[in-house]
Structure 1
Amino acid sequence: MDPDSDRGRVYHYLVGHPREPASRLAARCGLSETVVRAVLKELAAEEFVVATDPEPGVSAAGEDSWEDAWEALPPAQVVEALLQRDAALRSALRRTGTELEQLYRFARKDAGHYGALEVVEDAARVLAISRQLQQAARHQIRVIDMPPYSGTAGHYLEQEVLQRERMAAGVAYRTIYHGSAFDDPVAGPNMARMIAAGEQARTLDDPPLKLAISDDELAVVTLAADARPGVVSLLIRPSSLFRALSNVFESLWRLAVPVSADGTGTQIDERDRQILTLMASGATDDAIARRLGLGRRTVVRRVSALLARLGATTRFQAGVQAARRGWL
């Protein structure tokens, strides 16, 4: 856990200061109370910290109040959990490689050899299937979106209308975008608008395939046609291959970098660019403060704001996101 990240700062402080309430943690760590509460929620979900009995305090109105106190779980236990998680992720990625190899082989056989797979070559039907996949979803749509971005501006606007309708109906959208989406004149603005509307989005430099999954019912893989221009879609229904594709998505989702609505298509001032450059080089808050002649609390505050703006939880993620936006 990066000690200079919000998560690392909160956990490290709790290690040496047990039973601290969020309000005191915020003051000690130089973060807002909102950020600290969000970090504590994440750490508790990962079993790195635990809430203890409430501590007495005084409210803004001068009345007695009670606030949950927090305790760090033993560092040895946390480190072991992180090591096990890393081992599990490596294992999952190896399975992903095997599963993608299966998909590669199935895609190059006649569809009749595998009952759960259907090959669709007609472009109009490919678009119709995309709409049907979304309209039939009840819980979630998972998407890996990558070039070529062949849709027209009109196509993207129609997709936006449909996606907004489905999200309003309670369907969650989780999308992994190719890093180049930021620079595409049509796909980039579409991505920004959908994130602002509530889509959960992450990016990868080079996703392995174009994929859409509706609940646990249907997956659609889109590939470049081998013998002609255009694309071919593979429809995969519930099966071992479907489960493999679902696992592929979840493995890639864990590796992808979160994207925030505020971070898409915007610019930063020169001081924040200097801070980001030093962050990317591995400089600590104290080193950044000395280098730029700023107070440490100012640096902590601006680093926290940059991480939130970039949708990043670590300095490494912030550096990746900033580079993708052309900020560095």
Structure 2
Amino acid sequence: MHNGLDVLDPDSRRGRIYRLLISHPGAPARLLAAQAGLSEAVVLAVLEELAAEGIAVTTGPEPRCWEALSPLQVVETLLQREAARQAELRRTGAELERLYRFARRDAGHYGALEVVQGNAQVLTVVRRLQTAARRQVRVIDMPPYSGPPDHYPVQETLQRERMAAGVVYRVIYHGSAFDDPIAGPNMARMIEAGEQARTLHEPPMKLALGDDDLAVITLAADDRPGAIALLIHPSSLFRALSNVFETLWNLAVPASAAGVDTRIDARDRQILTLMASGATDDAIARRLGLGRRTVVRRVSALVSGLGATTRFQAGVQAARRGWL
């Protein structure tokens, strides 16, 4: 699966072929395949995908030649699609809010929905969800960060026990977690312990899902201090929440323990800016008057430190942290 953004990633197959198409206007699939080191059938399949997405066009009868659309036009189209996905997530959140308010008027029950009130009761429910999970726990963690002083140590102990038992933890953190004096170090320790973590600038809700059995949405109480939790049991609503999580997971950027305390100087900011524009290591070295080995070493350190797997993801992560 891909979300369209990979066409800008030079490390992806689609990104490689799109870049070749930019530098070889009007080229047949055979030529592009030779340049990419791929079979003509594979390249042709990718070109057909790009054409269907409005990223490339064919320029004549057989043998067909191919032309890339303007990168600026492609980027604008991809940004519009991502904005549409985010708008859909916000509409989902609004629907959940309506369900929440309806459930409270109906004495705490609405089909597969149950309401739990009070900070202590909410924490108990979330811990019970983790204890009962046998395969995976999926979490969206976002401010406000609340709970008694021993909450994080207790949670860390429980999570380590569950991961040791084979339960996979996938967690999406709010971007501000990097700067929180408590949540940030906790995130680093859990990543080091084996948690799969990603960050997203503005997640729409605080959510936990245990296997396919229970979901818990945590909300601030409207008319009193403390929190309220919505417990959602297996249902179409549960499946919708599961799909929301997976969509957000695909939009989020991988985090790493090394990336939590990363700082950046002016030279690295220049390197990241050029990386984000698609410049190669050689081009960066020439532009900044640096040795190629220095650039390769710094690019590798930046990609690793940002918890990214590709140069493109590193650029996205750096932009989300306000470094670009």
Per the normalisation by structure 2, the TM-score is 0.73
- The answer to whether residue 47 in structure 2 is matched with residue 76 in structure 1 is yes
How many residue pairs align between the two structures? 280
Mark the CA change 1:283 to 1:91 in structure 2 (over 3 Å): closer, same or farther. closer
Query: How far did 1:202 drift?
Result: 1.0
Match among 92, 98, 101 for residue 99 of structure 1: 92
Return the offset for 1:244. Answer: 1.2
Stretches of structure 2 that go unaligned for 5 or more consecutive residues are 1-5, 21-30, 56-77
1:103-128 per-residue CA deviation (whole Å, 9 max, x = no partner) reads: 11110013456121111112221111
Q: Which residue of 1 aligns with 2:313?
A: 317
The answer on 1:5 being equivalent to 2:10 is yes
Q: 1:265 to 1:159 in 2, by over 3 A?
A: same
Residue identity opposite 1:256 in structure 2? A
Give per-residue Cα distances to partners, 1:193-246, cap 9 Å, x unaligned: 111111111111111111001011001001111111111111111111111111
Consecutive unaligned residues in structure 1, runs of 5 or more: 21-48, 51-70
Answer 1 or 2: higher relative contact order, Cα 8 Å, separation at least 6. Answer: 1
- The answer (yes or no) to whether the contact 2:9–2:312 under 8 Å persists in 1 is no
Query: What does residue range 179-194 of structure 1 map to in structure 2 within 5 Å?
Result: 179-194=175-190
Matched, 1:288 2:284: yes
CA spacing shift, 1:294–1:192, aligned 2, 3 Å? same
Asked if residue 241 in structure 1 is aligned to residue 237 in structure 2, the reply is: yes
Question: Structure 2 vs 1, CA of residues 262 and 105 (structure 1 numbering), >3 Å: closer, same or farther?
Answer: same
2:203 to 186, 201, 207: 207
Aligned to 2:257: 261
Q: Deviations over 1:305-325 (max 9, x none)?
A: 422332224545323423555
Letter in structure 1 aligned against 2:94: E
Percent identity of equivalent pairs: 63
Q: Go from structure 1 to structure 2 and tell me whether the alpha carbon gap of 1:95 and 1:275 turns closer, same or farther (over 3 Å shift).
A: closer
Q: Deviations over 1:263-304 (max 9, x none)?
A: 111335654333123334x26124422221124465345324
**Aligned-residue CA RMSD in angstroms?**
3.4
TM-score, normalization by structure 1: 0.73
Kept in 1, the 8 Å contact 2:175–2:320? The answer is yes
Separation (CA, whole Å) in 1 of partners of 2:123 and 2:173: 19
Change (3 A) 1:91 1:290: closer
Residue deviations 1:15-63 (CA, integer Å, cap 9, x gap): 554796xxxxxxxxxxxxxxxxxxxxxxxxxxxx78xxxxxxxxxxxxx
Q: Please say if 1:160 is aligned against 2:153.
A: no
